[in-house]
Amino acid sequence: MDLTGNWRIPTEVLAGPGRITKLFSRARDLGIRRALVVTDPGVAALPFFPAILAAAEKHEIAASVFKDVHPDPVEADVFAGLAAYHAHEAEMVVAIGGGSALDCGKSIALATATTRPLWDFEITLTPPPLDRPIPPIFAVPTTAGTGSEVGRATVITNTELGRKIILLHASMQPKLVILDPELTFGLPASLTAWTGMDALAHNLEAYCVKTWNPMCDGIAIEGMRLIKNSLITATTEPRNVEARGKMLAAAAMGATAFQKGLGAIHSLSHPIGAKFHAHHGLTNAVLMPYVLAYNRPAIEDGIATVAQSLGLPNGFDGFMQWVLDLRAALKVPHTIAALNVTEDSLDHLAAEAFLDPNTPDNPRPADEAAMKQMLEAALEGKL
């Protein structure tokens, strides 16, 4: 085994009920006077949002709201937000919402620092130089799924290519994260389930990546344990603060762990999301057992260790059965046909999945034919 690696632990996190009250006091500590708050129309309409803006005023910070963010943010959203940032003469970005708002907010901050096309920052460990520093970013998730609040990457759809592009820059990692479970109380059961399965996919795939990073492996296993013990409760008891808080932690842990990489669940999910506009977490949930089955020869021993840690019997088979039972309990469809995927689209989806930057990290090599094999299994519901 190659015992070398590059390990990063994320930004400062304030976790717990009521911690949202610290948001603008911490911004003021940085000397900030003007902030662009990036969110989406749904979050902007929630009862807690006016209180956040009132807190900005209390701390003598002029806050302007940009909420024109698509469920899957596109380049036009980023540049509309960039215009709003400059019009307000903002000094920082505060991103509040689900993964789309967080990714858009972080990408707006990136766009303030460069005149290059956003796509020049497609996932690479050696991004091009910036014209100026990226402004401070504070992130407040209102869903427990993507973990974008602790990450240095974003996902933006290139509408011209019809592809989701992963942008990466170390300075997009937020300076402060607030994990306040009370902000997730209004999330519908379906979105709680789908975002929670996204968090599971992150922890699971990160753990399975072969790169040596025992810190991330430990985080990923604990993230999966928190999900096992909390996701169904968070879905069925939407104001259960303990379950909601643990799911927020699990989501952040998944994004911490996947600095190792991800795999074919995400490689396949991205083109399905781009073409059929299916929710990313739901797509991950549907695909999960089929990718597990394909990867089994490469991950069976590791998944047996996870199963033992989660108190599941029968090693890999027990873990697979837990995934299937969890999907059923959360009313996740068993096949990608429920996502409107058709047989005649499989060749295109397989080709796009093979080109996805997560594919090289899949624990079992997967060429275009293997991608189609997994898609066919997911379309037919055959494990």
Residue 174 banded pLDDT, cuts 50, 70, 90? very high
Residue 199 in this model has a pLDDT that exceeds 70: yes
The answer, as to whether pTM is greater than 0.85, is: yes
Q: What Å distances lie between residue 149 and 113, 308, 361, CA to CA?
A: 19, 30, 22
Question: What pLDDT, on a 0 to 100 scale, did the predictor assign at position 72?
Answer: 87
Q: pLDDT, tens digit, for every residue of 38-70?
A: 999 999 999 999 999 999 999 999 999 999 999
Structurally, at CATH architecture level, domain 12-184 sits in 3-Layer(aba) Sandwich (3.40)
Q: What percent of the chain has pLDDT over 70?
A: 98
Contact indicator for 296, 362 with CB cutoff of 8 Å: no
What are the residue boundaries of the structural domains of the chain, listed by start? 12-184, 189-380
- Do 12-184 and 189-380 fold alike per CATH? no
> How confident is the model over 6-22, as a mean pLDDT?
86
**Regarding beta strands 34-38 and 92-97, do their DSSP bridges make them parallel or antiparallel, or are they unpaired?**
parallel
Task: Give exposure, 17-35, as e/b (b: 16+ Cβ within 10 Å).
Answer: eebbebbbebbeeeebebb
> How confident is the model over 262-268, as a mean pLDDT?
97
End-to-end CA gap in the chain: 31
Residue 123 banded pLDDT, cuts 50, 70, 90? confident
CA dihedral (134, 138, 142, 144) in degrees, to 10, reads: 80
Q: Which fold has domain 189-380?
A: Dehydroquinate synthase-like, alpha domain (1.20.1090)
Q: pLDDT, tens digit, for every residue of 309-368?
A: 999 999 999 999 999 999 999 999 999 999 999 999 999 999 999 999 999 999 999 999
Residue 124 banded pLDDT, cuts 50, 70, 90? confident
Partner residues linked to 63 by β-bridges: 35
Q: pLDDT, tens digit, for every residue of 82-102?
A: 999 999 999 999 999 999 999
